[in-house]
């Protein structure tokens, strides 16, 4: 991604996409105050009250400057002691307000982030969008980073900005009033003409601030693009590190260490280059920042010195004006001083908005009214029906054309076909994961499903949790779980049901597939859809678990994708996805196994 905006059509399209992303983020984020009004507005009002109290203590300290330095100038010991007591009280009041502000501010940040994170997670996981996003969004979406880190960076600073900006505005108004009243006017002669400037300190403060801010804006303008590019680079580097960790075994087995190292080094080198551009930009801004830090407290003293020397301004008034001048500069320069954080917030907000854009595009692509999609519906009877089903890639290229079949309860159907004919995609469509295409898949209403991919998902937690996943209200006795382990050849794990381990790493591929079959025995489903679910098992182990279809699971309807020869003995019929010469899509051809059909019928009657 280029670091600077361009005026090319691609650059304009990217800028428009970013604006849309920001609008979507802001539209969602502000709903917190509508959906959680008691909590959100209670904390917001609390923050505003504390801002006013903090401003009151600052005004008190400013007024104390005048009181204390006048007493010092007059060598008034009793007034000085009173000043010590007053500043101690002001310090206590300021500390109390600051502590309360921290509590309320951080609670607002945490609660807002919690609400927004839940909304994003709900949208991400709704309607299987988290899976579909991996197909259409590409690797660069990184939803886990956007929901986690970017959501934090997009919400926490907003509360700080709201407090800082409101404080800056109120401080500017209050301390400009002090400059006008206490600073008074000034009279001087220039070129033989007399001039009278009322509230001259106010005009000096404004002119000084405008010059400093203009310089900062001019120098710091490219910073937002620099920070945005840096954040994108950070996210990409984290993603590539995660991929290496998740694919560590495969990389090690094929000796891809050097290639991965070179690729990571290339990505990190690009990230460093982006960081260096941010550093150079911040270094340039430091010229103005540091000069302003030195000059801002000195300027009012130099400007007020003639009035003090002439006796028209006391030492206390001079120090009060100097403190007010610095406060005004701090208020006026708030935007400039927070330019870096504003850039970070802008970049992170846009990144969350990009995720919202991707989810919205998915909704438009496959949601209601989106046009032809695979429709999942309820079957009018207890049969699984595929009606006029065509499955396509997202670009519209057909994989399967005009498939029709009816699968009766308890039937065992094997799906075969050459590589790329759409077998696994058919399974995804049956699971409701693949909407691209047309036609209908009608599933028995109220039927329970078990989907068994080639690589079973083993969640974090105990082995018991993995065996019962996804959790149900019906928790079986340990005896049922242990018996399922025995039947699937996992007896050696029976004593470790409550051990919290990284089971996806501890268990071999074959053991993980056995766990998937153990789940079937613990909670027998009505319909089982399998995709190469025995690929990691040897032939004998495969035969043992597939025999469950003839025994314990005889009543279940099974649709299975498989390549291995000999699988036919566990199925009543076969659907083959074949391509005619010259065609790019497959159509379904059926073949029945009468003997197996009779065996399954007898078993169902016996059960």
C-alpha span between 138 and 394 (Å, rounded): 13
Q: What is the pLDDT of residues 427-465, one digit of tens each?
A: 888 877 788 888 889 989 888 888 888 888 888 889 999
Written as six digits, the tokens of 605 are 């009657």
User: Where residue 64 falls among pLDDT bands split at 50, 70, 90?
Assistant: very high
Q: pTM score, two decimals?
A: 0.69
Higher pLDDT among residues 137 and 310, named by residue: 310
375-606 has CATH 3.40.50.2300 classification: no
Three-state DSSP string of 435-493? CEEEEEEEEECCCCEEEECCCCCCCCEEHHHHHHCCCCCCCCCHHHHHHHHHHCCCHHH
| Buried-exposed string 193-228: b where 16+ CB fall within 10 A, e elsewhere | eeeeeebbbbebbeebbeebbebbeebbebbbbbbb
The pLDDT value given to residue 512: 93
- Supply the mean pLDDT for the chain: 84
Work out whether strand 573-578 and strand 587-592 pair parallel, antiparallel, or are unpaired: antiparallel
The pLDDT value given to residue 5: 42
> Domains of the chain: which residue ranges?
9-366, 375-606
Which of 324-333, 351-360, 439-448, 472-481 is predicted with the least confidence, judged by mean pLDDT?
Answer: 472-481
The pLDDT value given to residue 405: 86
As a whole number of angstroms, the longest Cα–Cα distance in the chain is 120
Work out whether strand 573-578 and strand 412-417 pair parallel, antiparallel, or are unpaired: parallel
Contacts of 201 (CB under 8 A, 6+ apart): 179, 180, 183, 300, 303, 304, 321, 324, 325
The pLDDT value given to residue 351: 83
Residue 513 has pLDDT above 90, yes or no: yes
C-alpha span between 497 and 88 (Å, rounded): 62
Higher pLDDT among residues 582 and 245, named by residue: 245
The pLDDT value given to residue 477: 87
Q: What is the pLDDT of residues 86-112, one digit of tens each?
A: 999 999 999 999 999 999 999 999 999
Query: In percent, how much of the chain has pLDDT > 90?
Result: 26
Tell the CATH topology of 9-366. Answer: ABC transporter transmembrane region fold (1.20.1560)
User: Where residue 359 falls among pLDDT bands split at 50, 70, 90?
Assistant: confident
Alpha carbon 501 to its chain centroid, in Å, reads 27
């Amino acid at each position: 991604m280029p670091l600077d905006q361009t005026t090319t059509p691609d650059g304009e399209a990217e800028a428009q996409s970013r604006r849309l992303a920001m609008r979507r983020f802001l539209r969602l984020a502000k709903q917190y105050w509508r959906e959680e009004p008691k909590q959100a507005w209670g904390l917001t009002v609390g923050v505003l009250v504390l801002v006013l109290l903090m401003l009151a203590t600052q005004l008190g300290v400013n007024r104390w400057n005048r009181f204390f330095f006048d007493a010092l100038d007059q060598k008034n010991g009793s007034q000085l002691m009173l000043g010590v007591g007053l500043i101690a009280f002001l310090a206590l009041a300021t500390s109390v307000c600051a502590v309360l502000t921290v509590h309320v501010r951080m609670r607002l940040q945490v609660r807002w982030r919690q609400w927004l994170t839940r909304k994003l997670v709900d949208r991400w996981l709704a309607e299987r969008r988290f899976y579909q996003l991996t197909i259409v969004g590409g690797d660069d979406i990184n939803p886990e980073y956007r929901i986690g880190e970017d959501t934090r960076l997009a919400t926490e600073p907003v509360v700080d900005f709201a407090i800082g900006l409101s404080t800056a505005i109120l401080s500017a108004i209050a301390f400009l009033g002090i400059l006008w009243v206490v600073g008074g006017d000034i009279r001087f002669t220039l070129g033989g003409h007399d001039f009278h400037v009322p509230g001259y300190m106010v005009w000096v403060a404004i002119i000084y601030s405008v010059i400093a801010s203009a310089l900062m804006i001019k120098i710091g303008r490219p910073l937002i693009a620099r920070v945005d590019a840096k954040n994108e680079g950070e996210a990409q580097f984290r993603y590539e590190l995660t991929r290496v960790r998740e694919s560590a075994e495969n990389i090690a087995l094929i000796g891809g260490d050097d290639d991965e190292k070179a690729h990571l080094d290339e990505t990190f080198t690009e990230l460093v280059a982006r960081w260096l551009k941010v550093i150079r930009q911040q270094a340039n801004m430091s010229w103005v920042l540091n000069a302003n830090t030195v000059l801002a407290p000195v300027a009012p003293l130099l400007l007020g010195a003639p009035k003090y020397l002439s006796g028209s301004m006391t030492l206390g008034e001079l120090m009060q004006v100097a403190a007010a001048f610095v406060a005004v500069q701090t208020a006026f320069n708030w935007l400039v001083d927070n330019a870096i954080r504003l850039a970070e917030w802008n970049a992170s907000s846009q990144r969350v908005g990009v995720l919202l854009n991707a989810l919205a595009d998915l909704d438009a692509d496959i949601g209601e009214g989106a046009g032809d999609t695979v429709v999942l519906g309820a079957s009018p009877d207890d049969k699984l029906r595929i009606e006029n089903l065509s499955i396509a890639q997202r670009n519209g290229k057909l994989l399967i054309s005009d498939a029709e079949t009816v699968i009766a309860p308890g039937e065992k159907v094997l799906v075969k076909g050459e590589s790329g004919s759409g077998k696994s995609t058919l399974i995804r469509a049956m699971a409701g994961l693949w909407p691209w295409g047309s036609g209908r898949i009608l599933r028995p209403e109220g039927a329970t499903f078990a989907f068994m991919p080639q690589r079973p998902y083993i969640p974090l937690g105990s082995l018991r949790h993995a065996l019962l996943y996804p959790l149900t209200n019906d928790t079986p006795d340990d005896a049922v779980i242990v018996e399922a382990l025995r039947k699937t050849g996992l007896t050696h794990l029976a004593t470790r049901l409550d051990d919290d381990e990284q089971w996806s790493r501890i268990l071999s591929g074959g053991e993980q597939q056995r766990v998937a079959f153990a789940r079937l025995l613990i909670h027998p489903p009505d319909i089982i859809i399998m995709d190469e679910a025995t690929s990691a098992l040897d032939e004998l182990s495969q035969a043992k678990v597939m025999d469950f279809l003839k025994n314990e699971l005889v009543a279940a309807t099974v649709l299975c994708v498989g390549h291995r020869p000999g699988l036919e003995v566990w199925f009543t019929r076969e659907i083959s996805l074949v391509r005619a010469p010259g065609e790019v899509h497959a159509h379904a051809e059926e073949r029945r196994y009468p003997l197996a059909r009779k065996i399954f019928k007898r078993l169902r009657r016996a059960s």
